[in-house]
Structure 1
Amino acid sequence: MSRKRGILVAIGAVLIVVVGGGAYAARGNVAYARVATGYAAKTTCSCLHVSGRALDSCIADFPPEAQRNVSITQDGDEVRASVLGVISSRAVYEEGYGCRIEE
């Protein structure tokens, strides 16, 4: 019985190390995604409301990889950009001031 328990403890420890290592390694990608969605939301908001261009025209300004990975939606004066629907940023247009990112 103690041999089985030892094996289970070892497997559990390995799983904890693997999950912890994966979370630690992914932290840089999460930070990058936050910056990327903020940039996409703000740039698209300014393109739409300050420059007066169409949404498709604004999205065409982004590199192909960003066009594939970042989802952009518009609702009135608000633009939201997200990656995988998990990490998102929102920019809002305010007359006289332009667009700003909101948390």
Structure 2
Amino acid sequence: MLMLGLALIVALLAVFWKPLNGYAQAGTAYGARVACSCRFVGGRELSDCKKDFEPGMELVRLSEDAKARSVTASFPLLSSQTATYREGPGCQLEPWQS
């Protein structure tokens, strides 16, 4: 019975991995961009910036590199994206990492 359950979990992951990864990439890109703007344009604390997230983004984690003026949003095991503040254009996403 345990082997059947494990096989079912592996099969479900195989089917849903690509869509889950796509949603995670979109969510981390959105999170990084919004949090970067909140932090470096709005001047708010990073812990306060999560209030701007849409419902359903509770698993996205944020970290800040104050020296580089960037924020990284990550979704465990699936995706990570960084947005960096630049004078003029504001916060821009770094190129996608595959």
TM-superposed deviation, 1:21:
6.0
Bigger radius of gyration, 1 or 2?
1
**Does the 8 Å contact 2:21/2:78 carry over to 1?**
no
Aligned length: 88
Distance 1:71 1:85, change over 3 A: farther
**Does the 8 Å contact 2:83/2:91 carry over to 1?**
yes
Look up the equivalent residue of 1:35 and give its one-letter code.
Answer: A
Give per-residue Cα distances to partners, 1:55-97, cap 9 Å, x unaligned.
121112224642x301100002010000115410000000111
1:78 aligns with 2:70: yes
Distance 1:22 1:86 in 2: 12
1:89 aligns with 2:55: no
Select the residue among 62, 67, 91 that pairs with 1:99: 91
Q: Which moved more, 1:19-28 or 1:80-89?
A: 19-28
Look up the equivalent residue of 1:43 and give its one-letter code.
Answer: V
In structure 1, the gaps of 5 or more residues are: 1-17
TM-superposed deviation, 1:19:
4.8
Q: How does 1:9-20 map to 2 (within 5 A)?
A: 19=10
TM-score scaled by structure 1? 0.72
Distance 2:13 2:90 in 1: 39
TM-score scaled by structure 2? 0.75
Cα RMSD, aligned residues only: 2.4
Higher helix share: 1
